Amino acid sequence: MADIALVLGAGGGTGGAWETGILHGLAEAGVDLSTADLVIGSSAGALVGAQLASGLIGLPELYARQLADPQGEVGGKLGTATLMRYARAVLTSRTPEAYGQKLARMARETRTALTAAERQELIAGRLPSPDWPERQLRITAVHADTGELHIFDKDSGIPLAGAVTASCAVPAVWPVATIDGQGWIDGGVYSPANAHLAAGYERVVVIAPTVSGNKVIISPRSQATDLEAKGARVAVITPDAAAKKALGRNSLDPSRRAAAARAGLAQSAAHTEAVAAVVGS
């Protein structure tokens, strides 16, 4: 088996800020996950993972960025009507692929605040480098036509910003991302964490802002249980009560990012011992 895998799940801008707070707090306590052998990122976790894996910016600075004034940033919102359409898609789907196809159709029918090119330019501006890191970074996205989960990495032959934009393409909020003529939507549509992709790694840490699963989507904890059944040691971190309050109901609201990051930093202390036991720090 391989060694340490870090899984960073989906959860919008506030979820990504909370993940950054958790990572920063763990590192301050002597458990630095930025050195993991593999980083798997989905949606917000793809952006955090790409920043982390670059090796060009440390966790203190990444954390500080979350505290910056978001004035002028374009946020998004999953309104009640959109969430109801999501729920109907779940109820009428039997597989994650069928669910993904329905959300992709929804995404194509929705007018968004930014064009696909504007969205990718914004994402590119948040990356420390346009180049894929040498370290193992895997970014998930869902194919808009088939609903199948896909993994982008440094050998995929596409720009890093394109992969992260695809992974962050929340249906009905941001436009469908296009890469080489193929449409892609948010990697978190298939699974909130996609922790199953860490199979084969001896030690796995899953940081998942989105906790729940349903009849077609497997929850992070269920995926962790499957990894443990295959012999891995796994630690799962999900938001505590204070973090849930800080994250708020709209995970795409930039104004809540600082509070979410601080909540992650505060919560990290409760997980230091368990994570250290898994990774051997």
Tokens of 130: 């346009």
Helix (H, G, I), strand (E, B) or coil at 18: helix
User: What span, in angstroms and rounded, lies between the C-alpha atoms of 226 and 255?
Assistant: 36
Q: How far is CA 45 from CA 58, 134, 231, in A?
A: 16, 18, 25
Cβ neighbours of 85 (radius 10 Å): 18
H-helix or E-strand containing 228? helix 220-229
Taking the C-alpha atoms of residue 254 and residue 153, their distance in angstroms, rounded to an integer, is: 28
d(CA 15, CA 243): 10
Query: Where in the sequence numbering do the catalytic residues fall?
Result: 43, 186
Query: Which residues sit opposite 150 in a β-bridge?
Result: 141
Phi-psi region of 164 (alpha: psi -120 to 50; beta: other; left: phi over 0): alpha
Token digits of residue 138: 């895997």
The 8 Å CB, 24+ separation contacts for 50-54 are 50/127, 50/133, 50/137, 50/139, 50/160, 50/164, 51/126, 51/127, 51/128, 52/6, 52/23, 53/133, 53/135, 53/136, 53/137, 54/127, 54/128, 54/129, 54/133
